[in-house]
Amino acid sequence: MQTIVVTERQIIHELQNLEPEKWSEVLDFIGYLKQRKAVARKAQPHSQDLTARDLLRSDLVGIWADRKDLGASPEFARSLRRQADNRCSGNATTL
């Protein structure tokens, strides 16, 4: 893969040859690039692996304990599967 080196002079030259009505689009794109860089920085993977003990100490365990609409986990999972099966069979067409 070949790397293309772009200079500040080239960018300014191209900007000067662009209609001024398009400059706002250039600024929008620069803003997008800055935002994308900031998001990528935040999304970097955790630097250390978590153990089961770490997870037990975290706020994740019991996060849904107070939910009354879930009921027993196995029964809730079965009801979700039934709903998905009903949707699939209702949308299926025969040839």
**Residue 85 is assigned to a structural domain of this protein:** yes
Q: What is the pLDDT of residues 8-60, one digit of tens each?
A: 999 999 999 999 999 999 999 998 888 887 776 766 665 677 788 888 888 77
**Residue 77 is assigned to a structural domain of this protein:** yes
Which helix H or strand E contains 32, and what residues bound it? helix 23-42
The confidence score (pLDDT) of residue 61 equals 77
Q: What is the DSSP letter of 71?
A: -
Q: What is the pLDDT of residues 48-95, one digit of tens each?
A: 777 888 888 887 777 777 777 766 777 878 888 899 888 877 654 443
Q: Could you give the number of structural domains in the chain? A: 2
**Residue 79 is assigned to a structural domain of this protein:** yes
**Residue 35 is assigned to a structural domain of this protein:** yes
**Residue 52 is assigned to a structural domain of this protein:** no
Task: Give me 8's structure tokens.
Answer: 């500040």
pTM of the model: 0.39
**Residue 51 is assigned to a structural domain of this protein:** no
- Number of other CB atoms surrounding residue 77 within 10 Å: 11
**Residue 37 is assigned to a structural domain of this protein:** yes
Size (the chain), residues: 95
Residue linked to tokens 């600024």: 27
Domain residues for 25?
8-42
